[in-house]
Structure 1
Amino acid sequence: MPDTPPVSIKLVADRAGVSPATVSNVLNNKASVSPVFADRVRRAVEELGYVADGAASRLRSGKHSLAGVVVPDLTNPVFSAFVSTLERAARQDGFDLLVVSCDNAADQEADRLRSIRSWRPAGLIVIPCDGAVAARLPPGAYPPVVVADRIPDDPRFDLVAVDNAAAAGAVAAHLAAQGHRSCLVAGSTLRISNVRERWEGAKAAAGPMAIQLIESGLDPAIIRQHLRARLLDGPPPEALFTLDHVTTLVAYQLLADLGVALPRDMGFASFDEAEWMRLVTPPITAVRQPMEDMAEAAWRQLMRRIEGQKGAPSLLRMTCAVEIRGSTPRRRSGPRTAAA
């Protein structure tokens, strides 16, 4: 289908036999236009299929009704739940939301942060790839930014996150209390502040349980490769604790492929909860982050900044819920080696 140029306001004005200013007044519901001219303009708009340029209209009026959101990966249900809640909150306050993702890549995040500024949003909420988000903001004037979920290296940002260490520590303590003598903790990379905090919390609460970390990466194929090599290299751990949703999903599929029965052969727990974890047998012990509450708190703080609130950065850490389910009780009858 051939491309057609967008219908301009001048073309609408020519069709209606009025000036472009009159068209603008009708589209903006100005009372100064006579009903006859207003009807002619509306008919021309309908006949031509004219669509107003919202970004240009905001620039002309000086009004800000657009906010931006940058997330690492929209396919992750944790982030999609966050964005869905933000969209509802923004709509209630009369804002449109521009949502972009960056495929967990720092260079793509920097590109998104540059390009999104051209839309002139009133403010921005960012779940960054890692803590170095400040270095990726373009120089010059930038709208208010609220960082969520992942902790930035720069303390000048407003932050809404969870107490990662406490939640991961609760899982590790539970695994130890169940009698698991060893635990493999698998997470993407310690460069991500959340993963780092979760590992530190699990390590501190492990007690007599031997605990080991494997940084499995961000790509599912690489995660599977690293986990498989570790599980087949000597005696497998008695429990596996994964620190993010992607690692959890890959690990669960890998354990099934290796013939590892949960929890008979190995205890299994996840930091990020997703709906499927409640539906499988046995259901998966998981940390449930309050993503909806985090999104609402981040939006409220952004609105305060948009409305001109000054002062020190706002720091909010929320408590996670640990859902203990059937994948973690220790029911081993004897040592087992994972099948090839």
Structure 2
Amino acid sequence: MARRVSIKDVALRAGVSWKTVSNVVNDRPVVREETRVRVEQAIEELGYVPNRAGRELRGGPTHALALVVPELQNPYFARLAERMQVAARERGYMVSVEVSLGVAETERAHLRGNTPRPVDAVIISPSALTPPDLQVSGGPRVVLLGEMLPAAPEISHVAIDNVASAADVVRLLVAQGRRHPLFLGGDGAVRSTATDRLAGIRAALRFADLPLEAQRVRTVAGWDRESGREEMEQVLASGLEVDAVVAGNDLLALGAMSALIEHGVDVPGEVAVVGWDDIPEAAWSRPGLTTIAPDLEALVAAALDAALADSTRKAGGDGGASVVGGVETVVGHRLIERGSTSAAADR
């Protein structure tokens, strides 16, 4: 096995001391530019990877973050992970991508800082956490993506406005003459992306004097193509009148649209279909899928800002203890209209 390149190897190649190499690696402004360039060239030539273990054991900054997502089969999370890594690298940080597979204990472990290696912050898109799980103290800084769950005051949230985006969808469908929408995504007692989107749908339908009966809110086994297809087939078999399907994400929508088309239903002539996330497949499906597109660049930037910001503040006066304050950030979204929606025929 080849010997690991050490900091002393780099120092020898660059003709400097190992302390100078350390200063360059840690971006300390005490090294002359010509020396820095020489050291960086030696690092590249030798393929040196800094060993941060000592710094981590001393409790110093690791310049590492963990991004925890439920899965990578969903193209949205794959894109998120890629853009997070690129944006973090520009700030001098590494990102390890961890997949929770929707296991609550795995997500709780990351909140407590039980990551494969020490990190300065955990950015997590939870799928199994509950509000009590988020009443944490100590450990790395935590940023929640998407789910606006009640959490400890030091935990930050970054998300689109799920209620407003759902209302945008309903306004489009109502303007096109749709009167019998179906929501694929379910409801629940705990606030989640699904409950927020359902709240927006209900509010916009009430404004339009249209009901949303209980049988038009369908709980799915998962937010994937298979679940969308299976649930849509059950709806078709039940004979329930439907002229629009609003799915909790694009994968559910694409699965539902597949079932509709295979059963001879005209999309969008008879039934319109809308999703969330604007995954690449939404533009390539036939018909193309109308969807809510989050501003992913803004979401990534806001998550990194919250994870890396020095938000230490004093809790009260008179020498109160220092605590880390969380932030709430809402990023923008766009409703992208494609072929899966159009003005309905006379109804």
Aligned to 1:327: 340
Report SS of the residue matched to 1:254: helix
CA distance in 1, matches of 2:251, 2:191: 14
Question: Which aligned pairs between 1:113-192 and structure 2 lie closer than 5 A?
Answer: 113=111, 116-117=114-115, 119-130=117-128, 132=130, 135=133, 141-154=138-151, 156=153, 157-187=155-185, 190=188, 191=190
Q: What letter matches 1:80 in structure 2? A: A
Aligned to 1:214: 218
Q: What letter matches 1:238 in structure 2? A: D
Q: Could you list the per-position Cα deviations for residues 10-63 of structure 1 after superposition, in whole angstroms to 9, with x for gaps in the alignment?
A: xx9xxx9xxxxx9965863799xxxxxxxxxx9xx97xx986543345435834
Query: Is the 8 Å Cα contact of residues 287 and 322 (structure 1) preserved in structure 2?
Result: yes
Query: Is the 8 Å Cα contact of residues 111 and 142 (structure 2) preserved in structure 1?
Result: no
2:86 to 88, 95, 104: 88
- The answer as to 2:263 corresponding to 1:258 is yes
Could you say if the C-alpha distance between residues 104 and 260 of structure 1 is closer, same or farther in structure 2, counting changes exceeding 3 Å? Answer: farther
TM value normalised by structure 2: 0.75
Report SS of the residue matched to 1:28: helix
Report SS of the residue matched to 2:330: strand
Q: What letter matches 1:292 in structure 2? A: E
Question: Which aligned pairs between 1:261-280 and structure 2 lie closer than 5 A?
Answer: 261-280=266-285
Q: Could you list the per-position Cα deviations for residues 192-249 of structure 1 after superposition, in whole angstroms to 9, with x for gaps in the alignment?
A: 6111000010111122444321011216444433331122111441111101133123
CA RMSD for the aligned pairs? 3.7
Aligned to 1:59: 57
Q: What letter matches 1:71 in structure 2? A: V
Cα drift, residue 290 of structure 1: 1.2
CA distance in 2, matches of 1:319, 1:219: 22
The range that moved more, 78-87 or 267-276, is: 78-87
Identity across matched positions, percent: 22
1:318 to 310, 323, 331: 331
Cα drift, residue 131 of structure 1: 5.2
Aligned to 1:39: none
Report SS of the residue matched to 2:309: helix
Residue segments in structure 2 that go unaligned for 5+ positions in a row: 25-30, 32-41, 314-322
Question: Which aligned pairs between 1:300-311 and structure 2 lie closer than 5 A?
Answer: 300-305=305-310, 308=312
Question: Which aligned pairs between 1:21-36 and structure 2 lie closer than 5 A?
Answer: 28=22
The structure with more radius of gyration: 1
The range that moved more, 278-287 or 160-169, is: 278-287
Could you say if the C-alpha distance between residues 323 and 222 of structure 1 is closer, same or farther in structure 2, counting changes exceeding 3 Å? Answer: closer
Report SS of the residue matched to 2:335: strand
Q: Could you list the per-position Cα deviations for residues 84-113 of structure 1 after superposition, in whole angstroms to 9, with x for gaps in the alignment?
A: 222122112211111111112323323444
Query: Is the 8 Å Cα contact of residues 85 and 296 (structure 1) preserved in structure 2?
Result: no
Report SS of the residue matched to 1:97: strand
Cα drift, residue 120 of structure 1: 2.0
Query: Is the 8 Å Cα contact of residues 271 and 287 (structure 1) preserved in structure 2?
Result: yes
Query: Is the 8 Å Cα contact of residues 285 and 324 (structure 1) preserved in structure 2?
Result: yes
Q: What letter matches 1:195 in structure 2? A: A
Could you say if the C-alpha distance between residues 236 and 105 of structure 1 is closer, same or farther in structure 2, counting changes exceeding 3 Å? Answer: farther
Q: What letter matches 1:65 in structure 2? A: H
Cα drift, residue 74 of structure 1: 2.2
Report SS of the residue matched to 1:147: strand
Query: Is the 8 Å Cα contact of residues 73 and 103 (structure 1) preserved in structure 2?
Result: yes
Q: What letter matches 2:22 in structure 1? A: N
Could you say if the C-alpha distance between residues 165 and 262 of structure 1 is closer, same or farther in structure 2, counting changes exceeding 3 Å? Answer: same
Could you say if the C-alpha distance between residues 107 and 5 of structure 1 is closer, same or farther in structure 2, counting changes exceeding 3 Å? Answer: farther
Count of residues in Structure 1 that have an aligned counterpart in Structure 2: 312
Q: Give the ranges of 4+ consecutive aligned residues of structure 1 lying more than 6 Å apart after TM superposition.
A: none
The range that moved more, 80-89 or 65-74, is: 80-89
Q: What letter matches 2:251 in structure 1? A: V
2:231 to 222, 226, 229: 226
CA distance in 2, matches of 1:50, 1:271: 42
TM value normalised by structure 1: 0.77
Aligned to 1:100: 98
